[in-house]
Amino acid sequence: MIVPMKKVTLLTSQQHRDATLIQLRKLGVLHIQDVKPPVSEDIQLLENKLDNVERALQIIPANGPSDRQISESQAMEIIEQALALHRQREGLRRELAELSEINAWFDRWGQISYRSIQQLREKGIFVRLYVGDKSFLKRLPRDKIVHIEEVDGQVHLALFSQTPDDKLDLKEEPIPSMEPDLVKAQIGSLEQEIRQIEGQLNQLASGRAALHAYRQDLLKRLELNRVKHGMGEDAGIAYLQGFCPEDVIGEIQKAAEKEGWGYIIADPDDPAEVPTVIRNPKWIRIIEPLFKFMGTLPGYHEQDVSLVFLVFFSVFYALIVGDAGYGLIFLLATFLFDRKIRSSSREFVRLMYLVSFVTILWGTVTGTWFGSEKIAQLPFLKMFVIEPINSFNPKSTDVIMQLTFLIGAIHLSIGHLLSAAKKSPSLPALADLGWILVLWGVYFVANNIVLGKALSKATLPLIIAGASIVLLFANFQKNFIKGMLITLGNLPLSIISSFSDIVSYIRLFAVGLATVIVATSFNEMAIGSGINSVVSGIIAAIILLLGHAINLILCGMSILVHGVRLNMLEFSGHVGVQWTGKPYRPFKE
């Protein structure tokens, strides 16, 4: 659930401002909102230092021991040294790139001495170099002395003449004003200098841990200064504002009374400014790693859909993967990951255990084990298969598609129930109940249009009744007719959109079917014609390993593209969640 928040204004004297901020940071419960833009020379200086330390950490290699303890002045010396070495190395690399380009020119044209070219020029012999295609040779003047050589489908031409004005109608290749031996010598020298610089940077690696600690210290000092210079000031009083969870507001009151701060506690006047704090039981919190990965958070004024998201994401995951064998692989991988990295996110591990078990369950009842019908026909496994949804039963297609429509109708109906609960006891809440009737009406329409099922007699009454309720209450206001006209303008398109939303759940069937087909195809490629030798056995094993590995990767991509989308877009659109939340970041040590 989304925790109720309070808006807090704290007042203190300007002379006690720093001490107040130190105590407030120790308290660590108030999410600060700037009263004015935080601007100062201290902030600029700290930002510059932070930028330099982050650049230094990118430059200094992360190899070797990194446990040396250093002071701030030593940290700044390391940073300055790293930045200076980096600038020097980049300059040398630019020189090296230029010389390498010249050296490549000599590789293309040969070891042409610029000194020799100048000596020929002094004796009245002028040399010009050109590059062109073979077609130019037909137009080459016969009175010119030209040496021709073909290189990589092009012709290199050297024109020899006794006048500087004699030229060919081609792109001229300028001759480098350096000797080939000198270029190679300078390249070697630059490479040695770069290696020396990289050796010096490697020596600085022992201070990386200390630089990370220095960076954290800078971040804390920067945050403190931003809060300090973002406070308001008036007649010797400094004040700040922020948001705090309602259940810990007593801690701020106790601290204020102890320290002599003035305070005002009120309900937030603008929900868009309030950060979102979500607290759920442990078994629901396992969905939070997915939210963090997506970077999504419901707004303070929106609904917490964690439970619904968790339940239906697990179902979507199972239908998309659709294979009990793959579910076992995910389960084993999760177990090994959990054993190897104990400090990993427990919520993520528990989520993977859940979706793996649900996938195994779905694959078991649909008789899908690594895309092999023979495995599912084993006596122990066959007893669990539900024949109407058996993946290898040609008649199961319509049943599973209808099941996905049913899942969609239930999913979206829950969304409108949550929306109605949020709006109640107002009359617009009834509009969401009307939309539920519309959804079930278009569910029957989807079955009729897509699957050819007979249209239920309840279809038209459901749509008419639902649309009428929506028309009456969606924009309920004093001017009753005006509200109805506003709703009527979008109602037809909204009903069509509801139909397309339910039909979009068919992607669960389509992607799950694709998983089975791909797995079956690789099985057929590997062992369809039998294994009659060691070589054919090895080839079959390689095909099976690579084929199913590719299928697993495709499953992972499909889960993110389709499984998450149905929750983030279709469902969230019906429940009214736009994921506009701001994370709660309390000012703390």
pLDDT digits (tens, 9 = 90+) for 3-40: 999 999 999 998 889 899 999 999 999 999 999 999 89
| pLDDT at 351 (0 to 100) | 93
Which residues does 125 contact at the CB level (< 8 Å), separation at least 6? 160, 161, 162
| pLDDT at 66 (0 to 100) | 57
Please check the confidence at residue 344 and state whether its pLDDT lies above 70: no
Which residues does 220 contact at the CB level (< 8 Å), separation at least 6? 589
pTM: 0.79
Structure tokens at 181: 């031996």
Q: What's the mean pLDDT in 68-87?
A: 86
How would residue 458 be classed by pLDDT, with cut points 50, 70 and 90? Answer: very high
Angle at 411 between CA 406 and CA 417, to 5 degrees: 125
Which ranges constitute the DSSP H helices of 230-303? 249-259, 282-285, 288-294
Q: What's the mean pLDDT in 152-164?
A: 81
Percent of the chain at pLDDT above 90?
52
- What's at 13, amino acid-wise? S
**Token pair 């429509």 in the structure block, residue:** 405
Pick from 27, 573, 38, 30: nearest CA to 275: 30
Pick from 504, 503, 523, 519: nearest CA to 391: 519
Structure tokens at 293: 């990965």
Angle at 59 between CA 55 and CA 65, to 5 degrees: 115
Could you tell me which residues are beta bridge partners of residue 151? 154
Give the residue with greater pLDDT, 523 vs 445.
Answer: 445
Phi, psi values for residue 423, rounded to 5°: -85, -20
| Residue-wise pLDDT tens digits, 29-39 | 999 999 999 98
| 417 neighbors 436 (Cβ within 8 angstroms) | yes
Please check the confidence at residue 357 and state whether its pLDDT lies above 70: yes
Percent of the chain at pLDDT above 70?
97
Which residues does 304 contact at the CB level (< 8 Å), separation at least 6? 1, 2, 278, 280, 298
In three-state form (DSSP H/G/I as H, E/B as E, the rest C), the secondary structure along 352-392 is HHHHHHHHHHHHHHCCCECCEHHHHCCHHHHCCCCHHHCCC
Pick from 276, 205, 197: nearest CA to 243: 276
| pLDDT at 128 (0 to 100) | 87
| pLDDT at 208 (0 to 100) | 85
Question: How far does CA 541 lie from the centroid of its chain?
Answer: 34
| pLDDT at 503 (0 to 100) | 93
Phi, psi values for residue 161, rounded to 5°: -145, 170
Segment (H or E) for 245: strand 237-245
Give the residue with greater pLDDT, 89 vs 137.
Answer: 89
| pLDDT at 67 (0 to 100) | 59
| Residue-wise pLDDT tens digits, 510-563 | 999 999 999 988 888 888 767 777 887 888 889 889 989 999 999 989 998 888
Give the residue with greater pLDDT, 503 vs 535.
Answer: 503
| Residue-wise pLDDT tens digits, 419-430 | 999 888 888 889
Give the residue with greater pLDDT, 135 vs 560.
Answer: 560
* CB atoms near residue 153 (< 10 Å): 7
Report d(CA 394, CA 397) in Å as an integer: 6
111: exposed, middle or buried (Cβ count in 10 Å: 0-12, 13-18, 19+)? exposed
| pLDDT at 405 (0 to 100) | 95
Angle between helices 324-340 and 534-558 (to 10 degrees): 80
| pLDDT at 346 (0 to 100) | 84
Q: What's the mean pLDDT in 255-270?
A: 91
Report d(CA 344, CA 353) in Å as an integer: 14
* CB atoms near residue 209 (< 10 Å): 15
Give the residue with greater pLDDT, 573 vs 528.
Answer: 573
Residue 208 vs residues 87, 204, 322: alpha-carbon distances, Å: 19, 7, 47
Please check the confidence at residue 93 and state whether its pLDDT lies above 90: yes
Angle between helices 480-503 and 459-473 (to 10 degrees): 140
CA-based end-to-end distance of the chain: 27
| Residue-wise pLDDT tens digits, 196-221 | 999 999 888 888 888 888 999 999 99
Q: What's the mean pLDDT in 391-416?
A: 93
How would residue 323 be classed by pLDDT, with cut points 50, 70 and 90? Answer: very high
Among 360-374, 457-471, 517-531, the least confident range: 517-531
Could you tell me which residues are beta bridge partners of residue 149? 156
Q: What is the mean pLDDT of the chain?
A: 89
Q: How many helices (H) and strands (E) does the chain have?
A: 22, 9
Pick from 164, 178, 161: nearest CA to 112: 178
**Most confident listed range (69-83, 310-324, 553-567):** 310-324
Structural domain spans, the chain: 113-174, 395-503
Please check the confidence at residue 486 and state whether its pLDDT lies above 60: yes
Pick from 221, 274, 217, 378: nearest CA to 4: 274
| pLDDT at 64 (0 to 100) | 60
Rounded to the nearest 10 degrees, how much is the dihedral formed by the CA atoms of 291, 295, 301, 306? 0
Give the residue with greater pLDDT, 469 vs 147.
Answer: 469
How would residue 65 be classed by pLDDT, with cut points 50, 70 and 90? Answer: low
Pick from 164, 178, 168: nearest CA to 120: 164
| pLDDT at 563 (0 to 100) | 87
Report d(CA 570, CA 504) in Å as an integer: 9
Cis omega (within 30 of 0) for bond into 176:
no
